[in-house]
């Protein structure tokens, strides 16, 4: 398998009046071509910042991002424009990414025009193709975003992201704002597009059922760091990090033989501003010990199953 994305020691810090906010702090992972990496974790743990940094909507603070084996971390000019074309994003709320004053057709064709790669008739043709691809009726060409329901609006967001035929798409909570009945349709569309167009996804969500359905592998983030990383199957069968365990035990279970266990998280959330060097989960962790105040190394506990917890073998 070829790697499309490789991230090494990636950091994204934001300066704030109170110090440096460590939004993404030393993150490492690989995404193979055609696969989906799910990224889960609580609000504010850095999922969106990670996605945005990957596709160069934020400049990295340090570390490396490889795309198709090429280090693109700090590329500028033409190389940056090319990288940005190859890496797109779909947002939770298409309202924030699409202009309410533009028609559907104008929204989808905008990236085609901006790229200056296509003539007028080609742009018309591609716009129709994209609308078909995502299942939007051509009669909606001259409608406005507010005239569409959430599911169709998200389809417009997807069409726009696909316009320049990218290889990689960050899906940032793409179904969280949709009715449950529509969520499955959009997820299935994303899955179909992935196969048809050999797309690679990073899929950000805090919905564990969604991430389980869509991802091949999962990274669990806690305050800017990846605390656990493995295949989706493995994560749900044998979660190892105390935070992952707590996260998974909070899913309401419908299986009467395994009634819901809630290991509710207690304790204060550590601040992401100037964090201490030890485990960031320490204040809420039921297994915390002295050793947890030291920096936690990521260890491959089982093949391809990485955990950043010094107590992983004892608990």
Return the range that interacts with ligand ATP (CB under 6 A); candidates 36-44, 157-165, 208-216, 232-240: 36-44
Q: Does 49 bind ligand ATP (CB under 6 A)?
A: yes
Partner touching 206 among ligand ATP, Mg ion, none, CB below 5 to 8 Å by kind = ligand ATP
By CB under 6 A, residue 47 contacts ligand ATP: yes
Say how many residues touch Mg ion, by CB under 5 A: 1
Question: Are residues 6 and 43 in contact, defined by beta-carbon separation less than 8 angstroms?
Answer: no
User: Closest separation between CB of residue 175 and ligand ATP, Å?
Assistant: 14
23 binds ligand ATP (CB under 6 A): yes
The yes or no reply on residue 46 touching ligand ATP (CB under 6 A) is: yes
Binding-site member from 21, 37, 130, 162 for ligand ATP (CB under 6 A): 21
DSSP state of 164: T
Residue 101 has what DSSP assignment?
T
Q: What secondary structure does DSSP assign to 4-26, as a single string?
A: EEEEEEEEEEEEETTEEEEEEEE
Binding at 60: pick from ligand ATP, Mg ion, none (beta carbon under 5-8 Å per type): none
Where b means 16+ CB within 10 Å and e means fewer, 269-278 reads ebebeebeeb
CA atoms within a 13 Å half-sphere pointing along the CA-CB vector of 106: 10
CB of 172 to Mg ion, least distance (A): 6
Task: Kindly tell me the burial class for residue 199, based on how many C-beta atoms sit within 10 Å of its own C-beta (0-12, 13-18, 19 or more).
Answer: buried
Q: Which of 36, 48, 127, 215 binds Mg ion (CB under 5 A)?
A: 48
Residue number with CB closer to ligand ATP (40 or 130) = 40
Of 141, 191, 197, 206, the one binding ligand ATP (CB under 6 A) is 206
Q: Where are the alpha helices (DSSP H) in the chain?
A: 47-54, 77-86, 94-97, 104-115, 120-134, 150-162, 180-197, 208-214, 232-237, 242-249
Distances (CA, A) of 71 to 63, 79, 226: 10, 11, 21
Q: Is 107 in the site for ligand ATP (CB under 6 A)?
A: no
- From the list 43-51, 98-106, 261-269, 282-290, the region that binds ligand ATP by CB under 6 A is 43-51
Residue numbers at the binding site for ligand ATP (CB under 6 A): 14, 21, 23, 41, 43-49, 206, 272
């Amino acid at each position: 398998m070829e790697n499309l994305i490789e991230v090494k020691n990636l950091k994204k810090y934001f300066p704030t009046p109170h110090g440096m906010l460590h939004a993404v702090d030393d993150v490492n992972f690989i995404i193979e071509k055609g696969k989906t990496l799910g990224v889960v974790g609580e609000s504010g743990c850095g999922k969106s910042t990670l996605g945005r940094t990957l596709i160069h909507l934020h400049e990295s603070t340090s570390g490396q991002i490889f795309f198709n084996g090429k280090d693109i971390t700090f590329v500028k000019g033409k190389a940056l424009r090319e990288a940005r074309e190859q890496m797109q994003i779909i947002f939770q709320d298409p309202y924030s990414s699409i202009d309410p004053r533009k028609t559907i057709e104008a929204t989808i064709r905008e990236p085609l025009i901006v790229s200056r790669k296509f003539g007028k008739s080609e742009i018309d043709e591609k716009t129709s193709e994209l609308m078909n691809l995502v299942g939007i009726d051509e009669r909606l060409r001259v409608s406005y975003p507010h005239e569409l329901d959430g599911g169709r609006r998200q389809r417009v967001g997807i069409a726009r992201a696909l316009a320049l035929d990218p290889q990689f798409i960050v899906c940032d909570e793409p179904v969280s704002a949709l009715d449950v009945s529509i969520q499955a349709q959009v997820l299935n569309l994303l899955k179909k597009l992935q196969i048809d167009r050999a797309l690679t996804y990073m899929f950000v969500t805090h919905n564990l059922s969604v991430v389980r359905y869509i991802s091949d592998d999962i990274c669990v983030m806690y305050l800017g760091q990846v605390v656990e990383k493995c295949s989706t199957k493995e994560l749900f069968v044998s979660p190892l990090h105390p935070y992952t365990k707590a996260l998974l035990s909070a899913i309401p279970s419908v299986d009467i033989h395994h009634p819901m266990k809630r290991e509710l998280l207690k304790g204060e959330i550590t601040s992401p501003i100037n964090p201490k060097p030890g485990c960031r989960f320490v204040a809420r962790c039921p297994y915390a010990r002295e050793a947890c105040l030291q920096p936690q190394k990521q260890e491959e506990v089982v093949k391809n199953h990485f955990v950043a917890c010094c107590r992983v073998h004892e608990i």
